[in-house]
A and B are shown apart, each in its own frame.
Chain A
């Protein structure tokens, strides 16, 4: 295979299909639209189905239904559409259905929406936040594996830059360990046959084969998420061994952090970078280790301060944590604004270094 010039959305679509995704539904919304278009172009040829739904609510519930039959199914939108999908994402968690959701977010980095969600119940969503298109291709394949392995909704946190950037890339299928049989999948067997299966949030089962009921089922799901939290956290740390200052960021912003940290290290500043690759589970233990002995932990995110909460929870010294990001929208409201720039970030880091640890941020 050779490199081809692929837009991020197109590359993610090919990665999803290479992962065995055979059902995709969505409602067009910039910058998610190109992923839906790519799936519509490519999925039928792979024997799959792509449906342009009438709303995000319809799209996510179609994908949920497809997942219940054991198909690898996915949907997506931007943050505004994900807001509408929250109920079905929570149902996917409580029904233990693997569902992959692509969030091609606009300019706002909504960490809370990705990691807390707005559904009910003790549920979580595994969330991978790639920093660029090649990583988005790898993460897409990993998400389908994690969703099946843990029978849970799993999110890709992409954005305008990842969805739209074209690079020369080869979409190579990744190998994963074998997965358990989907012996829970609905296969169309009707009631009255004695073999019909049921997927139900309350898990009460059928009259002749009672289920565990909500208390035991929901505790088991909570235990499963506790186990995922222990085993699936992923992160990337650079130069943190000797660092006095660590900059924490996720997704596209991390590419800018890496550049600025590299420049400042070359100037002799003892600075490092830390990037949660999984937003949930948050790599808290690794962050505690990476920030050990740091006088400053700077959080750069394009919002008014969301991930900074998790950084405060896990940093070795929470009083060292400072937010240096902010709301940053371009005029269209569709993509990141002026803060997504190495110059602006460098100035903010320098200002924080000059202020020193005694100065506290407003938050």
Chain B
């Protein structure tokens, strides 16, 4: 799956949280971040590959199954790498561009507004990630919360609770398994 946004939205930690959660559920994962020299406001993309066997995927993803878009600024760098019929989960609070992928299933989540409502506007990326996980079942929400807790550095622990609420609020805002990533049997094997 492809992640896109601008620096400062938490796109990198969202991608890393998903990858860590998938690994914690026994999957094989590869995470390739893409960003330039700038930090705030610049392009920040990532690719996460997940499989139930050792991966053969190349470190430049093409023909991707899904996308997570926090911001439209660099959507054009992601769109060509999505396959027709891709699952696209967007932050409706900011993303107002045409997805432009043939046959795409688009889920619009008011991630920014939900995070504002929680009093945690900085956690919008986690709202969208919670929604993504719930829609696809790629990882369980509990595993996601656990992964987030592993990844937030010791000097940022004051955000743990808000991040957890954001993940759960995102998951609650969508229909679970509306676009399942795995066959039903896979989910049972993962213990969910």
For the A-B complex with A7-B31, A342-B58 known, give 5 more contacts whose Cβ atoms are closer than 8 Å: A161-B59, A166-B31, A330-B34, A331-B36, A334-B37
Compute how far the CA of A255 lies from the CA of B32 in the bound complex, rounded to whole angstroms: 15
Name the prevailing secondary structure of the B interface residues: mixed
Residues of A within 8 A of B29 (CB): 5, 166-168
- Are A164 and B62 in touch, CB under 8 angstroms? no
Say whether A161 contacts B32, CB under 8 Å.
yes
Q: Report if A361 contacts B (CB, 8 A).
A: no
B58 touches A259 (CB 8 A): yes
User: Are B23's CB and A341's CB within 8 A?
Assistant: no
Contacts A340-B60, A342-B58; A167 near B30 (Cβ below 8 A): yes
Chain A contact residue count (CB 8 A cutoff): 26
Give a binary string over B56-88; 1 marks a CB under 8 Å from any A CB, 0 the rest.
001110100000000000000000000000000
**What CA separation (Å) do A322 and B11 show in the bound complex?**
41
30 A-B pairs, CB-CB below 8 angstroms?
A3-B23, A5-B16, A5-B20, A7-B31, A132-B59, A161-B60, A164-B33, A165-B30, A165-B31, A165-B59, A166-B19, A166-B29, A166-B31, A166-B32, A167-B29, A167-B30, A167-B31, A167-B55, A168-B28, A252-B59, A255-B59, A256-B58, A259-B58, A331-B36, A333-B36, A334-B36, A335-B34, A336-B60, A342-B58, A343-B62
How far in angstroms is the closest Cβ of chain A from B151? 9
The 8 A CB mask of A1-41 against B (1 = contact, 0 = none) is 00101010000000000000000000000100000000000
For A160, give the chain B residue with the smallest CB separation. B34
In the assembled complex, the Cα of A14 lies from the Cα of B177 at a distance in Å of: 39
Q: Which residue of B lies closest to A132 (CB)?
A: B59
User: Interface residue count for B (Cβ, 8 Å)?
Assistant: 20
B residues at A contact (CB < 8 Å)? 16, 19-20, 23, 28-37, 43, 55, 58-60, 62
Q: Which partner residue on chain B sits nearest A335 by CB separation? A: B34
Residues of chain A within 8 A (CB-CB) of B28 are 168
A209 within 8 A of B: no
Shortest beta-carbon distance from B131 to chain A in Å: 22
**Chain B nearest Cβ from A330, distance in angstroms:** 8
Find B60's partner among A166, A168, A341 (CB 8 Å cutoff): A341
User: How many Å from the CB of A93 to the closest CB on chain B?
Assistant: 32
Write the chain B residue with the least CB distance to A340: B60
Chain A residue with Cβ nearest B55? A167
Residue contact B19 to A332, C-beta cutoff 8 Å? no
Which residues on the B side are within 8 Å of A166 (C-beta)? 16, 19, 29-32
Q: Which residues of B contact A164 (CB under 8 A)?
A: 32-34
B residues in contact with A30, CB < 8 Å: 36-37
Measured CB to CB, the closest approach of chain B to A75, in angstroms, equals 21
For the complex, what is the distance from the CA of A104 to the CA of B29, rounded to whole Å? 22
Contact call A341/B32, Cβ cutoff below 8 A: no
In the assembled complex, the CB of B33 is this many whole angstroms from the nearest CB of chain A, namely 5
Q: How far is the CA of A165 from the CA of B46 in the complex (A)?
A: 10
How far is it, in angstroms, between the C-alpha of A343 and the C-alpha of B28 when the chains are bound? 25
Complex CA gap A280/B59 in Å reads: 25
Whether the pair B62, A341 counts as a contact (CB closer than 8 A) is yes
Question: Residues 236-247 of chain A: 1 if any B CB is under 8 Å from the residue's CB, otherwise 0?
Answer: 000000000000
**Does B31 lie within 8 Å of A5, measured CB to CB?**
yes
A20 to B36, CA, bound (A): 32
Closest 5 A/B residue pairs (Cβ): A332-B36, A166-B31, A161-B59, A165-B32, A5-B23
